[in-house]
Amino acid sequence: MRFTRAMTSAVLMVSVTAWVVAEQPIVNPKAATPPVAKKVPKTDSVHGDVRVDNYFWLREKTNPDVTAYLEAENTYTAAAMKGTEPFQDALYKEILSHIKETDLSVPFRLRGYWYYYRTEQGKQYRIHCRKKAVAGEIRPASETPEEILLDLNRLAEGQKFMGLGAFTVSDDGNLLAYSTDFTGFRQYTLHVKDLRTGALRPDTQEKVVSVRWAADNKTLFYTIEDAAKRPYQLYRHELSSQQPDALVYEEKDELYRIWLDRSRDQKYLFLNSASSETTEVRYVPSDTPGAELRVILPRVNDHEYYVEHHGDRFYILTNDGAKDFRAVWAPADDPRKENWKELLPAREGIRIEGLDMFAHHGVTYEREGGLPKIRIIDLRTGEEHLIEFQDAAYSVFLDANPEFDTTTVRLQYQSMITPSTLYDYDMEKRTRVLMKQTEVPGGFDSANYVAERIFAKAPDGTAIPISIAYRKGLKKDGTAPLHLQGYGSYGFAIPVTFSPAELCLLDRGVISASAHIRGGGEMGEKWHDDGKMMSKKNTFTDFIAVAEYLVNEQYTSKDRLVIEGGSAGGLLMGAVTNMRPDLFHAVVTHVPFVDVLNTMLDASLPLTVGEYLEWGNPNNKSEYDYMKTYCPYTNLAAKDYPAILVTTSLNDSQVMYWEPAKYVAKLRTLKTDQNPLLLKTNMAAGHGGASGRYDYYKDRGFEFTFILAEMGITR
């Protein structure tokens, strides 16, 4: 993050008070005149409500005036941040000092090969590789020749963006199907590489989303997207065939998206159709790809289910009669509900989020009390146990586990102060082996930090979890700066993860915190329900309650509190800033979904129709009226606002660039303060920002410079 480099990062780690308070802020909004977007009034009337949008014209991506405006904002942002450039550079170097630039992933074994990726110093992207496996090996032998499957750095030559989508090898190991995006719009082109010769085959396809091989090593199934980027058609492609690809299925309901999967035992291909509340699964044996798709269970509103295969059974994760899901099995030749048998019943306070099947064990990914759990079920005896984790707040995920006939499951564990750690867990012996902990150079020692899980009380009395980390020696006297993040949408639980980049904050005495607010999935499905649709404002009042709690308990003060969120978390930032601009000193918001009403009224945009069940459908008056009460763009007003940094990307396919651009343009005409309002647009990226790791770290250094400068920390 920001640090004018006379000291080393090791020196910074000596004391929690190593930060310095600046007499004057080093972000200078008066360094240049901010651009003023022209006003072209567009009047809309919905349900008798008349709205005038002066900046609708910014949607015209090919209009030279739009490009000129975005570039003018970039120029202004650069001028305002000019005085911080040495700090930005120092922080970038400091971030790199905590990254092992040349590194190797832990290989996983699949059908006679060890697969892994590696990174090399100075190179932006991963290099995907494999080695031949030898019977009995625990790891690949160093003398075994390496085969480079895909060097993303070579693919990225001459490109401003490089995104890898699909990456799947045929069962015989001879062919690699992969997809690439060179714009950031997440529109991928499918390629097939012959790994025996290194040559690309002529088999290509545009707008591909998910890809899976059949067992015959010559048939590819793939889904493609429509104009609104909804995956809706499934095709079957046979290599070397002169016949057109067969359209196998088309999802006509615009609420539904489709994706492909394949069972771990490789016996079946699954086609999942899903809205945000209902699913339907079709299947075909992978060794007879020309067979007709069959339906496991026809769709029924509000029934979600997900399927795996094992032996002569389908294992099904279902919310039928269980809001937070239960696990059942049924005969593969007749999976109707009347044939279901219980594997794992619904339990109060426990949400089952995933079910994986191995030769002798089932593994569930669960969440209880907001924390993730891994449960192991012996399919032979029915005996089950939980893998224990001790930290107050943490994340654990199932890592790469492609092998079916194994008693070992690979887990990735981390916390805010524990780097990503890979374990191989023996499901029979109940023992774990450390495979790798990500190395953090630069003198990092987790013993110098503290992680906690605390709770704030929402206005309705609900306890809201907060994950928090800081350097030892913190004095809770209200003087510490605090960086608070939030999201709270789609039932997504914010993972409690380690970021080597954020050491630049922690080592300057900044407290790092995440608010696990409603709308997310931390505390089960009800937690999501209570923060969506006509209850969406709970998300915002929860976040405000968390911020107030942290101030009242003297973790920080209003003038040292900086908040950050992206995408739907950017909606959160916009809403709480409108509601309580006095509570936050500064705001950083990435690709923010801030123009809720206009976007949700435009069914042609990506995601809109499918998200009626998350935000509501504004074509219904009651839902329109409710959205209007919190839409950040609609509710901008003439008043003082915090310092605000907004980032976006020109080729974003999920939150179009014009939402943040309109937001900044309108706010400039209304705000009554002299605080910085900056818009930075990446003109060659998408929703996730820069694709190269070094470009990402530079962007993060820029953002941390803004955050620290607004906290009064200048080195």
Pairing relationship of beta strands 677-682 and 643-649 according to DSSP bridges? parallel
A 10 A CB-CB count for 114 gives 21
CB 396 within 8 A of CB 548: no
A 10 A CB-CB count for 375 gives 18
Which residues lie closer than 8 Å to 245 by C-beta, 6 or more apart? Answer: 205, 235, 236, 237
Catalytic entry in 276, 361, 687, 699: 687
Helices (H) and strands (E) in the chain, counts: 13, 38
State how far the Cα of 389 lies from the Cα of 77, in Å rounded to an integer.
45
Residue 410, CA atoms < 13 Å, CB-side half-sphere: 16
| Neighbour-count burial for 691-715, b at 16+ CB within 10 Å, e otherwise | bbbbbbbbbbbbbbbbbbbbbbbbb
Identify whether 652 is a catalytic site residue. yes
Catalytic entry in 567, 649, 653, 691: 567
Ramachandran angles phi, psi of 308, nearest 5°: -130, 170
Catalytic entry in 530, 542, 652, 699: 652
Identify whether 567 is a catalytic site residue. yes
10 Å CB burial of residue 298 (0-12, 13-18, 19+) is exposed
CB 660 within 8 A of CB 74: no
Which residues lie closer than 8 Å to 20 by C-beta, 6 or more apart? Answer: 713, 714, 715
CB 103 within 8 A of CB 439: yes
Of 487, 516, 479, 483, residue with least CA distance to 499: 483
Structure tokens at 611: 């998200």
CB 523 within 8 A of CB 515: no
Q: Is the dihedral of CA 103, 106, 107, 108 positive or negative?
A: negative
State how far the Cα of 261 lies from the Cα of 272, in Å rounded to an integer.
8
Identify whether 203 is a catalytic site residue. no
Q: What is the DSSP letter of 535?
A: G
State how far the Cα of 672 lies from the Cα of 638, in Å rounded to an integer.
6
Q: Residue type at 410? A: R
Of 513, 508, 509, residue with least CA distance to 543: 513
CB 435 within 8 A of CB 400: no
Q: What is the DSSP letter of 713?
A: B
Catalytic positions, written as ranges: 567, 652, 687
